[in-house]
Structure 1
């Protein structure tokens, strides 16, 4: 059997905080509390073990080590007092996978309608992988993929199957 196009590994130990707010009004407070700059639309910023991703015009996702989640949640809630905002720990709602290797984009291209040649290095994309909602961004020489925990087994399976050379998975 030929070597896989990419490695697929489940990632545990991450916390995720959903932040919904008017980013024009509350962006500075969020940036200070999160310790990261507010990303441009469809982008993600990373500093060390923390990342802040733009999910929609009024939604960000903070990804950080699980042990830092409670303190970050408190910091963000305090920073947004008086703002119309939602800050929620969504760590248990998500499943995370890392696709490693130089051909990880080929694996995702079998599942997602994305032009990887035009995908920016700091890009974050929300889309579908076959029949499940995902978000992904570049991480090292591969990608980090997040989906719903309720579809984690399915997502892991389709990523592994797409990593098989010669597989012609095409959801379109």
Structure 2
């Protein structure tokens, strides 16, 4: 079996904020209506977290569960644990209407860190970052591409499609250039 490779090989940039491509991370898209019997227990079995509320992400160490839409959740876990996670979901949700898919290799993940990390995203996304609370997950865009991001600590985690990882890294790098801070 081949080893997983992140989209950009762990690319980094140091400007007024630090940009890092992280990964590979395990990711499962889980489609299920919130009233599906056993859904909360299934998410807890895979991530160790509660079922996230609307526009929230629940984090438990290297695992997380994020609300993506009224019937979609993003489960994040170690890459090597995805097969076991899918099996646990299948067992816990047996007979219930749901869909669980491994999207690990279809996504790229970035960290934007530093005291001015919010300025990097403010240049790219139509989100009022001053109002974005820790643990709040926002689906939006980074310039012209779909992205989801959340604040944790002194930084943000951003998820995009792997096919546009180079573009997103370029956007983040350009937005974090020293001397381009917002007034």
Question: Normalised by the size of structure 2, how large is the TM-score?
Answer: 0.86
Match of 1:152 in 2: 165
By how many angstroms is 1:106 displaced?
0.6
Aligned residues: 167
Q: Equivalents in 1 of 2:35, 2:42: separation in Å?
A: 11
Q: Equivalents in 2 of 1:153, 1:167: separation in Å?
A: 21
Q: Which moved more, 1:22-31 or 1:92-101?
A: 22-31
Match of 1:11 in 2: 22
By how many angstroms is 1:31 displaced?
3.0
1:93 maps to 2:113: no
Contact 2:119 2:181 in 1 (8 A): no
Counterparts of 1:25-40 in structure 2, within 5 Å, are 25-26=36-37, 27-34=39-46, 35-40=48-53
Contact 2:123 2:175 in 1 (8 A): yes
1:41 maps to 2:54: yes
Moved over 4 A (4+): none
Contact 1:5 1:106 in 2 (8 A): no
Q: CA RMSD in A?
A: 1.6
Cα 1:4/1:126, change in 2 over 3 Å: same
Contact 2:49 2:65 in 1 (8 A): yes
Unaligned runs of 5+ in 2: 1-13
Question: Normalised by the size of structure 1, how large is the TM-score?
Answer: 0.91
Contact 2:25 2:79 in 1 (8 A): yes
Q: Equivalents in 2 of 1:106, 1:164: separation in Å?
A: 11
